[in-house]
Structure 1
């Protein structure tokens, strides 16, 4: 899967990955790959702009630190981000139910 396959769902995926705790940008990309069984291989050029967008929306919070002499930005889910994640999960369940009904071949 590539970035086009997750269009419209990337923000929710990023919020879900951060639910388990703070991660730096590359750690987020690795977590997406790991949790998707390798199906999600998103480039940094897709993930980092989305992280900045989520930070502007105040759904995540970023902090700078220095690790091994290198600056690193670590992101964590904000209280507003937890609410947004819950909303997106509810929307996803409803969406997949409708699509499943249609694709399931029912009358």
Structure 2
């Protein structure tokens, strides 16, 4: 993933309410139709970084399978950061889309035999 993308995806996932790490990873994977895979080796350092920045807060609780787990929730500062990051991401994606134009689109015209 592009640097900063995982942080933004975590923040976006937490808009729906507090969740523990495993659930956050599952929600990102499911909402991306399993295109994005979140490894624990990336997820937990990102959660700690977001907590250090004050964008998420954590507390201990009991998971759905009755285990003790750390739950994360979005803070007001995290919501503001998510807005900034989402705007920046959309602007960058739009710019890249303009550079690519229609190159590589699945519905592009197939070359004729004479074109190769």
Q: TM-score range by the shorter chain?
A: 0.7 to 0.9
The match for 2:12 is 16
The structure that is helix-richer by fraction is 1
Match of 2:83 among 83, 86, 90: 86
Q: Which runs of 5+ in 2 are unaligned?
A: 103-116
| 1:27 and 2:36 aligned | no
What is the Cα deviation at residue 97 of structure 1? Answer: 1.2
Q: Runs of at least 4 residues of structure 1 off by over 3 A?
A: none
**RCO higher in 1 or 2 (8 Å CA, sep ≥ 6)?**
1
Distance in 1 between residues matched to 2:3 and 2:10, nearest whole Å:
12
Matched residue SS, 2:23: helix
What is the Cα deviation at residue 41 of structure 1? Answer: 1.4
Distance in 1 between residues matched to 2:62 and 2:27, nearest whole Å:
21
Could you tell me the TM-score, scaled by structure 1's length?
A: 0.87
The structure whose Rg is larger is 2
Q: CA RMSD in A?
A: 1.3
Q: Which runs of 5+ in 1 are unaligned?
A: none
Aligned residues: 100
Could you tell me the TM-score, scaled by structure 2's length?
A: 0.80
